[in-house]
Amino acid sequence: MECQCYTNLSVAQLNNITKQRVEENKYELEKLKRQRLERERQKEEMDQEKDLLQRLKEADYYREWEKEEDSFHFNQLKLRSNICIFDGCATPTDLLARYISEEHDKDLSVRHLKYMNQRPIFMV
């Protein structure tokens, strides 16, 4: 190690060296403070990006869940309508939905003409 001996220096020179070291230390402290603040800012930005991505991911998940729920309810309504038609207690709405659907079966229309003759639909 190199030893710096200040015994043969004057008081003014020692004061200058001390002031210079104090200034260097202040500069280093400011530099470290800026670096720490920059790291904190970057960490906060990353956290915000993670939160945003998480919210988008959750929004997509709930959007898909809502579609599945709507599809389930639609299928349940179709099933209820079909059950009512097969049991002979269908309403005109059930029959209309059945005739409009792609699953229309010609045997059903013949089977339920009796129902339509018993309860005629009057249009005003």
Q: What Å distances lie between residue 64 and 22, 50, 74, 75, 108, CA to CA?
A: 63, 21, 15, 16, 35
Closest C-alpha to 109, from 90, 95, 121, 123 = 95
What DSSP letter does each residue of 36-88 carry, written as one string? HHHHHHHHHHHHHHHHHHHHHHHHHHHHHHHHHHHHHHHHHHHHHHHHHHHHT
Residues 30-70 pLDDT 10s: 999 999 999 999 999 999 999 999 999 999 999 999 999 99
Distance CA 80, CA 110 (A): 20
Q: For residue 98, what pLDDT is reported?
A: 77
| Mean pLDDT of the region 82-106 | 77
Domain residue limits, the chain: 11-118
Distance CA 47, CA 65 (A): 26
| Mean pLDDT of the region 61-80 | 94
